[in-house]
Amino acid sequence: MTFSKTHSSAVRHARDMLAFINASPSPWHAVSTMVECLQEDSFTELLETDTWALQAHARHFVIRGGSLIAFICGGESPAESGYRIAGAHTDSPGLRLKPLAAHVSEGMLRLGVEVYGGPILATFTDRDLGLAGRVQKRSEKGIETQLINISRPVVRLPNLAIHMNREVNEQGLKLNRQTELNVLFSGQDPLSADAFKSFIASELNCAPEDMLAMDVLVRDTQEGAIWGAREEYVSSGQLDNLASCHSIIQALLKVDEPRHTVVGAFFDHEEVGSESSVGASGSFVSDILARIGEGLFVHGTDALRARARSTFMSLDMAHAFNPNFPAASEPNHRLRINGGPAIKFNASQRYATDSESAARVMRWCEAAEVPFQQYVHRSDLACGSTIGPMVSARLGMPTVDVGAPMWAMHSLRESAGVLDSWWLTKVLDQVFEGR
């Protein structure tokens, strides 16, 4: 079995991945974690407000909010060898604080939240929850953004006792989004909305009146774990899709003086449809490709030739077969955890794969000696989507949707296999530098 042969490298990879995810409780933290990895490997930042001077083999990254694009200029002009792009998303579904979140009632200070994307809400109950995000502060320069990460338990969503909700095991836990998701923050005086603002200000070492606005989400405080009798599995929040971001970054760091121009694209807002200035459906990716092209003297028709020679691999997690719920999977397309990355198909183009792009990935998997699986959702269930179809439509590039199989997508505590993400980095080596 391949498992023992690659297991120790895969476990090392999994530990690194869990540390990466633990350091990235929000999209803005994910960007910051990726920047740290990239800067250690001599990537430098370019600002969209500046003019750029590029040269062959230059390593750069560009940030737009919770999104980031990193690239290494190829030895050949993109007009001759195209772009090799891999992309993933930086956001995860969950609970986001409302602008005026704090409110006092019944002797308790609670925080109102909005639901971001499609989390499994019941998994947020009875867990030790922290807060993370970014705060906009007054500063001498005008406005300064500061990240905030409270990784100790400071808020909670207590469940109702079974004696008060007798049907919970028959009907499931249903939570009203307006009235039953307010997270409990404090029962201690002073009980006022200002107490929460003062708390955040003290975490940031600033005066409460200097805080203008914030994007703060509820995070799990439990770190990721490797589990199973033989360390086969990982569990963590945000495996969807930070496991994919981590695989792409790992592969990117290995690339040295490539022939093709190599790009890693990481987008916020996938879980809410990607329609934003930083999302995959926005202008970010086409703007940056246009500027890389200009910087490498690829103009006009040559810019279109470059795109026509390019490939985009969209990485997002896939739904593994769950033996307790066999009917949930399409019988001929059951994904096995640790069975290899899945190539995802959907006739309605919820995934961008077609037979041409799939065949190419199959060749890359063969070259990397990595097993692969093929996924299609049950025909009588609505299929999710990824950034693949959007980027594919925007750039007009052949695109494939690929991902590591996982259980409990959008739970606060998801799980997956140690081998699949490790294998994905090997396939990405081929995407970036293979034929």
- Which residue number, 186 or 240, has a Cβ lying nearer to Zn ion? 240
Where does this chain touch Zn ion (CB under 5 A) — which range of 47-55, 206-214, 304-312, 316-324?
316-324
* Range in contact with Zn ion (rule: CB under 5 A) among 177-185, 219-227, 279-287, 312-320: 312-320
To the nearest whole angstrom, how small is the minimum distance from the Cβ of residue 316 to Zn ion? 4
Closer residue to Zn ion, CB minimum distance, 232 or 401: 401
**414 belongs to the binding site for Zn ion (CB under 5 A):** no
401 is a contact residue toward Zn ion (CB under 5 A): no
Task: State which residue, 154 or 280, has the beta carbon closest to Zn ion.
Answer: 280
- Residue 372's nearest CA partner among 385, 358, 384, 383 is 358
Q: Is the peptide bond between 241 and the residue preceding it cis, with omega within 30 degrees of 0?
A: yes
Say if strands 108-116 and 183-186 run parallel, antiparallel, or are unpaired. Answer: antiparallel
Regarding 316 and contact with Zn ion (CB under 5 A), the answer is: yes
List the x/- string, 214-243, binding to Zn ion by CB under 5 A: --------------------------xx--
User: What is residue 138's three-state secondary structure?
Assistant: strand
Cβ at position 23, least distance to Zn ion in Å: 19
The nearer residue to Zn ion, 150 or 318, going by C-beta atoms, is 318
For Zn ion, the closer of residues 215 and 240 by Cβ is 240
DSSP 368: H
Residues 6+ apart with CB under 8 A from 352: 312, 314, 386, 388, 389, 391, 392, 399, 400, 401
Rounded least distance, CB 318 to Zn ion, Å: 9
| Burial bucket for residue 138 (CB in 10 Å: 0-12, 13-18, 19+) | middle
* C-alpha–C-alpha distance, residues 435 and 424, integer Å: 17
Instruction: Name the residue nearer to Zn ion (CB basis): 258 or 264.
Output: 264
Residue 343 CA to residue 333 CA, distance in Å, equals: 11
CB nearer Zn ion, residue 46 or residue 243:
243
d(CA 197, CA 203): 10
Whole-number Cα distances in Å, 129 to 62, 123, 158, 208, 340: 32, 11, 11, 23, 33
- Which residue, 109, 185, 111, 187, is CA-closest to 154? 185
- Least gap, CB of 334 to Zn ion (angstroms): 20
Q: Closest separation between CB of residue 238 and Zn ion, Å? A: 10
Q: C-beta of 337: minimal distance to Zn ion in Å?
A: 17
Spell out a b/e string for 346-379, using b for 16 or more CB atoms within 10 Å of the CB, else e: beeebbbbeeebbebbeebbeebebebbebbbee
- Give least dist CB 92 to Zn ion, A: 8
Least distance from Zn ion to the Cβ atom of residue 153, Å:
26
Phi/psi of residue 120, each to 5°? Answer: -80, 100
Q: Which is nearer to Zn ion, 316 or 429 (CB)?
A: 316
Task: Give contact residues for Zn ion (rule: CB under 5 A).
Answer: 240-241, 316
